[in-house]
Amino acid sequence: MARKRLCEIAVEEMEGSAEYESIRSDLLSQLKMNQTTGKYYLDMIKDYMDLWVTKNLLLKDIKTRGVTVRYNNGGGQSGYKKNDSVEQALKVNTQMLKILDSIGIKPSTCGGGEDDEL
């Protein structure tokens, strides 16, 4: 129960962050520049931002636990296995790109802001 609460706190912190608002605002500005309107598109931006939060939680888990995690199945077997967050982060990132493509937002070709960390 405490772990779930920590996750909820992390989500609230990310959703209230300046980076979250900056990305959301930028996406909304691009929709406006493209003269793309409608509740469907606003909902897609919300979905994109939800995935952005999820991606950042997955990356935080990878940074904390690493790409492999220790397991113990209780039957005397233990060892290391891949951290499932790695695969999930890739899937979430792919879905984020699909959302941007479906609403017609392309990366800017003129100099713009900071590069994302890898």
pTM of the model: 0.80
**Strand, helix or coil at 82?**
strand
Supply the pLDDT for residue 118: 47
If one counts every other C-beta atom within 10 angstroms of the C-beta of residue 15, the result is 14
Series of mean pLDDT values for 10-residue runs along the chain (118 residues): 66 87 93 89 94 94 94 88 96 96 77 49
Q: Domain residues of the chain, as ranges?
A: 2-102
Axis-axis angle for helices 39-65, 2-15 (nearest 10): 130
